[in-house]
């Protein structure tokens, strides 16, 4: 992290109350900047700072919002306008996973996944575009390697993230002449509560245990995300071999990729 890059910047983070978002908030708040967090619950860090129990270099603000609701996003955007007239970085970090076979997934599960993973970040980005344009800012979406190809037992999740990729890529091309950047960040398995708070095929809370295999920590992912913002050439960023494998094999040999996914994730959809 190059601290000087962030000094004096205005940063908006969604989902800063836990996981990767909380780590982004922790790291960036050590720099003299302004951070506005958007989430349903107020991050513990912001609570501690407000009570004088902890000091941070950054000016911190929290706006309570359900990011699947256009009405609440509109209200949040109005509140943001009273805190700043320009935004340098928008971390569209909040999201939800969805696990179930396609033939056992109700349309309600697709709607919930798209409301949070697609419509929420797209609408928020649209509402904040005037502030991003003013500062020639950057938008980063926290996606997943599952957004790089249709993953078995993840049809709602993969499709909602893949759709988000397409929007960000279109926006990148269209708005590049105005100095805006759009970065898609695809972390591997990460030690968060994503599975516990995800949704099943009926759209109900998943309550799955955390992935037991090798995974990254939220802090590792947050550090890499910050580095990606600092790199002017960042577009689609992956962190490990699984991401690179999906990124390249979908174009080189999709039939081989599907055989690997079938074998590796067989138990997930049986």
Q: Helix 107-114 crosses helix 155-175 at what angle (to 10 degrees)?
A: 30
Quick one: pLDDT at residue 254? Answer: 93
Per-residue pLDDT of the chain (270 residues), as tens digits, is 899 999 999 999 999 999 999 999 999 999 999 999 999 999 999 999 999 999 999 999 999 999 999 999 999 999 999 999 999 999 999 999 999 999 999 999 999 999 999 999 999 999 999 999 999 999 999 999 999 999 999 999 999 999 999 999 999 999 999 999 999 999 988 887 776 778 899 988 877 666 556 788 999 999 999 999 999 999 999 988 888 999 999 999 999 999 999 999 998 888
Per-residue model confidence (pLDDT) at position 212:
59
The tokens 């279109």 sit on which residue? 170
Strand order in the sheet with 181-186: 59-64, 34-39, 10-14, 89-92, 138-142, 181-186, 236-238
Q: Given this model, what pLDDT does residue 209 score?
A: 61
pLDDT value at residue 133: 98
Homologous superfamily (CATH) for 3-268: NAD(P)-binding Rossmann-like Domain (3.40.50.720)
- Amino acid 214: pLDDT: 77
| Measured CA distances, 87 to 32, 42, 101, 196, 201 (Å) | 15, 21, 40, 32, 37
What is the torsional sign of CA 152, 245, 162, 72? Answer: positive
Q: What is the pLDDT at residue 211?
A: 59
- Nearest residue to 11 (alpha-carbon basis) of 139, 158, 143: 139
Q: What is the pLDDT of residue 26?
A: 97
pLDDT of residue 110: 96
Question: For residue 145, what is the DSSP state?
Answer: G
How many Å apart are CA 207 and CA 199, to the nearest integer? Answer: 8
Q: Which position has the token pair 């919002």?
A: 65
pLDDT at 197: 77
Element at 140 (helix H, strand E): strand 138-142
Write down the pLDDT at residue 205. 86
């Amino acid at each position: 992290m190059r601290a000087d890059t962030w000094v004096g910047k205005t940063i908006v983070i969604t989902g800063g109350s836990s996981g990767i978002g909380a780590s982004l908030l922790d790291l960036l708040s050590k720099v003299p900047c302004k951070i506005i967090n958007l989430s349903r619950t107020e991050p513990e860090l912001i609570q501690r700072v407000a009570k004088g129990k902890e000091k941070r270099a950054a000016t911190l603000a929290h706006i309570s919002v359900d990011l699947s609701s256009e009405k609440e996003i509109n209200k949040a955007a109005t509140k943001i306008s009273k805190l700043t007239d320009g935004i340098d970085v928008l971390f569209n970090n909040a999201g939800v996973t969805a696990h179930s076979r396609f033939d056992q997934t109700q349309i309600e599960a697709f709607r919930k996944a798209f409301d949070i993973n697609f419509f929420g970040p797209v609408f928020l980005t649209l509402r904040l575009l005037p502030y991003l344009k003013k500062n020639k800012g950057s938008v980063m979406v926290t996606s997943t390697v599952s957004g790089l190809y249709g993953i078995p037992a993840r049809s709602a999740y993969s499709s909602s993230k893949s759709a988000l990729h397409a929007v960000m890529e279109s926006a990148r091309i269209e708005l590049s002449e105005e100095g805006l950047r759009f970065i898609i960040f695809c972390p591997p398995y990460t030690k968060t509560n994503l599975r516990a708070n995800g949704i099943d095929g009926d759209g109900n809370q998943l309550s799955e245990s955390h992935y037991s295999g090798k995974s990254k920590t939220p802090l590792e992912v947050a550090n890499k995300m910050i580095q990606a913002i600092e790199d002017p050439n960042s577009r689609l960023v992956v962190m490990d071999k699984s991401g690179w494998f999906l990124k390249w094999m979908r174009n080189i040999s999709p039939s081989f990729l599907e055989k690997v996914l079938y074998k590796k994730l067989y138990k997930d959809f049986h």
